[in-house]
Amino acid sequence: MRRLLVLLVLLGSLPAGANIFDIYGFNPRGISLGSAMVSEVDDYTATFYNPAALTRHKHITLGGGFTFSIPRLTVGRSVPVCLNGRAACNAAHGTRWTDRESALPGHFSGLTLGWDIPFGGLLQNKLAFGLALYLPTINIVRAEGLDPQTPQFYMYQNLPDEIVILASLAYRPWEWMSLGIGVQVLANVFGSAKFGLDPANGLISKQDFTVALVPKVAATAGLLFFPMPNLRIGLSYRQALSLEFGLPADFMIGDVVGLGLEVAGNVLYTPHQISIGLGYTFEKQHLTISAQADIALWSQAPDPSPHVSVDFKGKLLDAFGLQNAVDVSVNAPQLELKFRDIVIPRIGIEWGPLEWLMVRAGYFWRPSPVPYATGPSNYLDNDVHSVAFGAAFTFKDPLGVNQNPIRIEIGNSFGIMPRRTVKKQNADDPIGDLEHSGFTYALSVSVNYSY
Strands 342-354 and 152-153: unpaired
The DSSP symbol for 81 reads B
pLDDT at 307: 73
The pLDDT value given to residue 205? 52
Low-confidence ranges of the chain (pLDDT < 70): 1-19, 139-145, 158-161, 187-214, 250-260, 311-334, 399-401
pLDDT value for 450: 82
d(CA 291, CA 349): 9
Q: What is the pLDDT of residue 257?
A: 60
Distance in angstroms (rounded) separating the CA atoms of residues 331 and 11: 15
402's CB contacts (< 8 A; 6+ apart) are: 449, 451
What pLDDT shows up at residue 291?
Answer: 98
The residue extents of the domains of the chain are 2-450
Q: What span, in angstroms and rounded, lies between the C-alpha atoms of 429 and 4?
A: 36
Residue 352: its pLDDT value, please? 95
**The pLDDT of residue 237:** 97
Q: Determine contact, residues 156/71, Cβ cutoff 8 Å.
A: yes
The pLDDT value recorded for residue 428 is: 87
* In 273-405, beta strands by DSSP E: 273-282, 287-296, 307-313, 328-330, 342-354, 357-366, 379-380, 384-395
Residue (of 295, 415, 409, 417) closest to 61 by Cα position? 409
Superfamily of domain covering 2-450: Outer membrane protein transport protein (OMPP1/FadL/TodX) (2.40.160.60)
| DSSP 8-state class, residue 57 | -
Identify the three-state secondary structure at position 55. helix
pLDDT (0 to 100) of residue 451 = 78
pLDDT at 336: 81
Query: What is the pTM (predicted TM-score) of this model?
Result: 0.84
- The per-residue pLDDT for 327 is 47
pLDDT at 321: 56
